[in-house]
Amino acid sequence: MKPPVATLLSALLAASAAHAAAAPVPAPATQVARTSAEVLAGSAPSDWRTPDPQNTLYLELTAGRVVIEMAPEFAPHHVANVAALARGGYFDGLAIVRAQDNYVVQWADPDAKKPVGAAQRTVNAEFERPLRGLTLVRLPDPDTYAPEVGFIDGFPVAADPSVGRAWLVHCYGMVGAGRDNDVDSGGGTEIYAVIGQAPRHLDRNVTLFGRVLAGMDLLSVLPRGGGALGFYEHAGERVPIKSLRVAADVPAAQRTELEVLRTDTPTFQAYLAARRNRTEEWFKVPAGHVDVCNVPVPVRKRHAPVAAGGRSAG
């Protein structure tokens, strides 16, 4: 059950190398034992990427804004359809209709009758995709559910190389398209976000298409519904949605400018090492491992304007 020592050493050495780059004369004690805060503090601007506003959603609630990054590499048709629904104003005035403790919140048209405009009401399932063409930043740790797990562009991903397939993983904050029993009955008119222990049994059973970058606590604190599956029993309990918009359609001055830590860098390897074996003084027994859903990929307010000709979203 333990990862090969060589793998652990490799991660530690990657951390060490990253640290050496940031601080030419590191103290030996910190060379292989940085905290995640230290790793992030020592990161370079190039360790961060700016999400593409065309693939970013703003869910506007009375309490504030939830920012969702979509994953067109994994669910291109759902991403396009949710954007079309948003652009048609489908969600404006609808509501969060369900909050099930330790599971999901979900928003939808309570009557399931609102016209979808130029969008489609349903989209065929995008539960998984070919592994080919993807570069999984793999965790060395054993996973309960999948042969391989890791990260791609900040998203938690599982893969089965024996069949050449990959899929997004139901971690805290992941966003998907609810469906009925028919696998092709989803499409984005019902959207859920995970607010509890990773429901990994949903992996490959429903289309994930994004993850919450900011405002997660606006969803996680919502009163749980008293009905079956956490549905609110009375219309008055529902949480109104002011709007769901594509960030690119929002005036620049009104956008939430975020950066996401790149997951294909030595800095991310150092961050993984710090998550795997906490070195803060408080910790006495290093875990030696980390679950893919226990690696929240860091997000921060963008602290410098993007220079002309600078990096586009990646």
Based on the shown chain and the rule CB under 8 A, indicate whether residue 233 belongs to the binding site for a second copy: no
Based on the shown chain and the rule CB under 8 A, indicate whether residue 197 belongs to the binding site for a second copy: yes
Smallest distance from a second copy to CB 312, Å:
30
SS3 186: coil
Q: CA nearest 53: which of 251, 308, 309, 263?
A: 251
Based on the shown chain and the rule CB under 8 A, indicate whether residue 252 belongs to the binding site for a second copy: no
Can you tell me which of 67, 175, 290, 299 binds a second copy, judged by CB under 8 A?
Answer: 290
Task: Give residues 59-118 in contact with a second copy (rule: CB under 8 A).
Answer: 101-102
Residue 208 or 246 with smaller CB distance to a second copy: 208
Based on the shown chain and the rule CB under 8 A, indicate whether residue 190 belongs to the binding site for a second copy: no
Residue 246 near residue 282, CB atoms below 8 Å: no
Tokens of 9: 């050493």
Smallest distance from a second copy to CB 215, Å:
10
Smallest distance from a second copy to CB 309, Å:
37
Number of Cβ atoms within 10 Å of the Cβ of 61 = 19
Residue 50 or 220 with smaller CB distance to a second copy: 220
Residue 68 near residue 213, CB atoms below 8 Å: yes
Based on the shown chain and the rule CB under 8 A, indicate whether residue 38 belongs to the binding site for a second copy: no
Can you tell me which of 26, 76, 89, 296 binds a second copy, judged by CB under 8 A?
Answer: 296
Can you tell me which of 67, 169, 174, 216 binds a second copy, judged by CB under 8 A?
Answer: 216
Residue 189 near residue 196, CB atoms below 8 Å: no
Based on the shown chain and the rule CB under 8 A, indicate whether residue 199 belongs to the binding site for a second copy: yes
Cα–Cα distance for residue pair 66/216, rounded to 1 Å: 6
CA torsion angle 23 27 33 39 (round to 10): -20
Cα–Cα distance for residue pair 51/272, rounded to 1 Å: 21
Cα–Cα distance for residue pair 253/289, rounded to 1 Å: 42
The dihedral built from the CA positions of residue 104, 107, 75 and 130, taken in this order, carries a sign that is: positive
Residue 44 or 229 with smaller CB distance to a second copy: 229
- The phi, psi pair for 34, rounded to 5°, reads -85, 150
Residue 153 or 291 with smaller CB distance to a second copy: 291
Given the rule CB under 8 A, which residues bind a second copy? 1-2, 101-102, 127, 141-147, 171-173, 180-181, 183, 196-201, 203-205, 216-217, 220-224, 275, 278, 281-285, 287-291, 293-294, 296
